[in-house]
Structure formats: C-alpha cells, structure tokens
Amino acid sequence: MVEDEVTSEETREDDYALDDRVVTSVLMAIATGDGDRVRTLLEPLHAADIADLLEQIDHGPRRDFILLVPDLVDGEVLSEITDSVREDLLDFLPREALSQAVNDLDSDDVVDLVEYLDEEQQQQVLDVLAGPERLAVEQALSYPEESAGRLMQREVVIAPEHWNVGQAIDHLRAHEDLPEQFYHVILVDPRLKPVAYVSLGRLLGSRREARLAEITEDSFRTFRVDQDEGDIAYAFNQYHLISAPVVDDNDRLVGVITIDDAMIVLDEEAEEDILRLAGVGEGTLSDRVVETTRRRFPWLAVNLVTAILASMVISLFDEAIAGLVALAVLMPIVASMGGNAGTQSLTVAVRAIATKDLTGANVWRVIRREVLVGLVNGVIFAVVMGVVGVIWFGSPMLGVVIAVAMVINLVVAGLAGTVIPVVLERIGVDPALASGAFVTTVTDVVGFFAFLGLASVILL
C-alpha cells in the first residue's frame, strides 16, 4: 500500500513535466529527417510544452527542427519560449512561417517577443507584420522599457457610458474582430477617457434594459502608460484585478493590461530576485557557456574581493592562530553560522521590499525582530558550541570564546541582513543585486574579528 501511494505521488508530480521519452523520440525523428513523425509526436502537446522541448535540446537539433517543421513554431510557441532561444530560432525561421506566427498574436505578445531582440531581428519581425499591427507595435516600443506601454495590448472593447446592456451585447455580436481574450467592457466618455468597466459575467447576467453605468465594478482603476510594470503587477495582485485600462498623458484610453501579463511580470521579478541573490544574473539553462560565464564573472570577482578582505582580518591574528591551532579549526564555524543567518534575514527583507510589505512605517520593528531572532539563536548555538569546545579541546575558556563570538555574529547577521537591503533600496540600488556581497563581508569580518580578537585577549 505504501509503495502504491509513493508511486501515485510521483506520478502526480510528473503530470506537468515534459516526458523524456517524447524528447528522445523527437530527437530521433529530427536526426532521420522524419517531419511527419515530429508532427505526430508534438500534436498533443501544448505550446508551452513545445517551447520547453526547444529549450531543452541543443543548438544543432533546434536548427534542424526549424528547417524540418517550421510551421510548428507558431505565435504561441514563440511567446512562450525564452529570449535567448527565441533569438536562435529567428535566425532560421522562414519568413512565411514567421509572418504567420506573429500575425496570430495580440500586440502585447508581439511587443514581448521583439523588445529584447537585436535591431536586425527586431526589424525582421516588424517587416512581416500587417500595417496596423506594425504601427501598434512600434508605438508600444516607443514607451520606456518595463512600462505599462510595453505591457499593454492595444485591442480593447469599449462602449459609451450611456449604453444599456442590450446595446453592448448587440455591439459585441456584430464585431468579428474582438480580442481573443478580454474580461471587461470599458466605459468611456466622449473624449475617450475611461470612467468605469463592466465584467462580462455581470453583462451577461443583467437585463437588456439595464444601464451599463449601474452594473460597473468597484475594482476599476487606470494606469499611466509610463508607469512601471512592477508597480502594476503589484497592484493587480494586491487589489485582485483581472484587467485594467491604460491611459496617456491626457487620460485617454490607449490600451488594456490583463491579469496573465501582470502575473508573468510578478513571476519574472520573483525569479530575477532569486537569481540576483545568488549572483547569477538572469540566465537560463539554454544559455551558452560564454554568455553564462560573462554574466557570473563580475559577482565572482566581487566575492573574491570580499574573501580577501576577510583573509586580511584573519592575518591580523596569525600569531594567535599559530599559538592555538584550535582557533583555525573553529573559526570557520562562526563565520559560516553568521553567513547563513545573514542570508536568511536578507532573503526575507529583499522579498518584503519587492512586495512592498517592508516600508518606513514598520522597518524598525522588522529590524528589531531580526536582531532579537539573531540574539536568541545566537544564545542557543552559543551553548551548543561552548559545550563542543569544552568536550573537543578540553578548554572551558575556549568554549566561552566561541560562544560569545557566536552570539555577536548572529546578532550582527540579523542586523546586516535587514539594514543593508533597506539602505540600498533607499539610495536607488537594487537590494537583490548587491546585498549578498555586503552581508557576506560583514558576517565574515565580524565573525573572524570577534572570535580571534576574544581568543587573543582571553586565551593568550
């Protein structure tokens, strides 16, 4: 029974993973030039799964895939795939297949597809767009990066604020060029300024003679076209929005942002914070060696500098270490515990800043909490390491030294892990990008200095 439960659980965990056997079969079909077999294998897959497959295979098979079955790379696949792989695909995708793919997309998806391409590839995509779609995309690209203008789609459904439900429904049924997905009918005044919106559910559930103005949603709010997409995604999550109009400097409607795009931004920002905390940038598993090396090298260089600084502190106490070898054995423990505690506080603080939970109103309370947590943990582990020091090396005073150093370093770790990201955020530096190196330096320097300094005074 237990084995059956484990098997069932493993099956559920793999439900949404791309089957390795499918990948292997596709690679074999590509190698033999069997396009029909590739189509048969990929027919049941979602566009996101096809995108995952193209990300998992190497550059050579990926190129052969495009040359063999270019029609399988449609707009949905292009919009799901990572930027680096997308650039690779565009080098081989025939113009006809590219034209078909991008003209099937909404304007916001086309903007997302082209905004980070190099100028040549960007022009390649723009050239295959129909006139109105190209104009909409070029207009969106004129807005700042990571702004509402880049995130929004230009296809919107509007109605005059004086209409009733029957007029709105008849209007929708009379138009065949409605957006593929929309959630609200936006009510506008004669100047095309959005004043409210009506959800499709309330529209379809109301009497035909009911005025649209009587069934509007309380959640209505607008965003400026130059507003940061991170702030917009936060608002969507905070206020449970499904869609929201975007306005220009004159408060005229220019587009709409939908929940799927906002959630993608939230996901990207969370992923970006995690990667930056680890000092690996925004790379993916499909990036090449040179790109990955170039992205990681600067932060490894920064870590080297901080490690040298910590080593300089150790060198101040070389006589103490030479006189008592136990110090060399135990000092990495103090630094490591401080580094881990600092990373814990740092991670909590950076995420709280990103979600706007850590503000000027509660920052001192959070700092006090992290310092007290460091103090409590420091005391607990100080007792443990004090006992270890006595048993291991037979020296009660050595146990006292490492215990006191442990308390000092864990308190400082809690303080640094919270204060450093807050200060960096206040001066305009991304705390996820730069905090890690500073916190590690502080905990290493303080840990070594406290332990070796106390040992020099008390033991020697």
* pTM, full prediction: 0.66
How far is the C-alpha of 385 from the C-alpha of 371, rounded, in Å? 20
In this structure, are residues 116 and 146 in contact, taking their beta carbons and an 8 Å threshold? no
Q: Is the pLDDT of residue 10 over 50?
A: no
Which amino acid, residue 369? R
How far is the C-alpha of 153 from the C-alpha of 242, rounded, in Å? 14
For 19-142, give the CATH class. Answer: mainly alpha
Q: What pLDDT band is residue 162 in, cutting at 50, 70 and 90?
A: very high
Q: Is the pLDDT of residue 7 over 50?
A: no
Residues 6+ apart with CB under 8 A from 164: 208, 209, 210, 211, 212
158-277 CATH fold: CBS-domain (3.10.580)
**What number of residues does the chain have?**
460
Q: What share of the chain in percent tops pLDDT 90? A: 26
Residues 6+ apart with CB under 8 A from 87: 117, 118, 121
Residue spans of the domains in the chain: they are 19-142, 158-277, 289-458
How far is the C-alpha of 175 from the C-alpha of 173, rounded, in Å? 6
CATH homologous superfamily for the domain 289-458:
SLC41 divalent cation transporters, integral membrane domain (1.10.357.20)
Which amino acid, residue 97? A
Q: Is the pLDDT of residue 43 over 50?
A: yes
Residues 337-391 pLDDT 10s: 888 888 888 888 888 887 778 888 888 998 999 999 999 998 998 888 888 888 8
- For residue 445, give the nearest of 418, 401, 412, 403 by alpha carbon: 412
* Three-state DSSP state, 372: helix
- Enter the tokens of residue 258: 């939908």
How far is the C-alpha of 157 from the C-alpha of 194, rounded, in Å? 11
Whole-Å CA distances, 71 to 37, 84, 330:
14, 20, 63
- For residue 414, give the nearest of 439, 433, 437 by alpha carbon: 439
Residues 305-326 pLDDT 10s: 878 888 888 888 887 877 787 8
Residue 6's pLDDT is what?
39
- Enter the tokens of residue 55: 């990300």
Q: What is the mean pLDDT of residues 219-248?
A: 92
How far is the C-alpha of 262 from the C-alpha of 108, rounded, in Å? 12
Judge whether 19-142 and 289-458 match in fold. Answer: no
Residue 338 DSSP class: H
